[in-house]
Amino acid sequence: MSLDGTFLHCVVSEMLSAGLVGGRIDKIYQPSREEIIISIRSAGKHNKILISSNSMSARVCMTERAAENPSAPPMFCMLLRKHLSGGKLLDITQDGLERIINFDFECMNEIGDMVVNRLTAEIMGRHSNIILMAKKDGVYRVTDSIKRITDDVS
């Protein structure tokens, strides 16, 4: 089953109605090379969001599954933990019916200032990606992504 913009709109609506906005990131896992799981604590319970950029099964959904994690977290997972851990989920958005979902977080940077970071899930089949961006001067700039794309490819 392919995920289109209409289906992803329903996924975003489900996450919004689950009360995730306002919750705080508890844990971040990367059980496989192209998959992350974010545990969010909100309204006294834990919810998990699975974001996969796997070319055969790219998706964004809420999950209850327990992840088998590698003994050492991958670099992208450590980067997400550095920039997002303890952050407050401000909003979950989708522009129109695009296959892109944005998760905006208010986090504290290494010097103690509050900053806004965005985790974007692009669900585009084999071109799917998970991108971390930081907001500076009102503009989001790419920090890193789970799949690095060169200018030649992009």
Average pLDDT over residues 98-119: 94
Residue 148 predicted with pLDDT over 90: no
CB 131 within 8 A of CB 141: no
Average pLDDT over residues 115-140: 93
What's the pLDDT score for residue 93? 96
What's the pLDDT score for residue 68? 81
DSSP letter at 13 equals H
What's the pLDDT score for residue 3? 77
Cα distance between residue 38 and residue 26, in whole Å: 8
Closest CA to 29 of 92, 76, 62: 76
What percentage of residues in the chain have a pLDDT greater than 70?
95
Task: Give residues with Cβ within 8 angstroms of 20, minimum separation 6.
Answer: 40, 42, 47, 49, 89, 92
Residue 141: its H or E element = strand 139-145
Average pLDDT, the chain: 91
Residue 47 predicted with pLDDT over 70: yes
What's the pLDDT score for residue 76? 95
Instruction: Tell me if the domain spanning 5-145 has CATH number 2.30.310.10.
Output: yes
Strands (E), 24-73: 24-32, 35-42, 45-52, 59-63
What's the pLDDT score for residue 154? 52
Where are the chain's structural domains? 5-145
Task: Give residues with Cβ within 8 angstroms of 129, minimum separation 6.
Answer: 53, 121, 122, 145, 146, 147, 149
21 or 68, greater pLDDT: 21
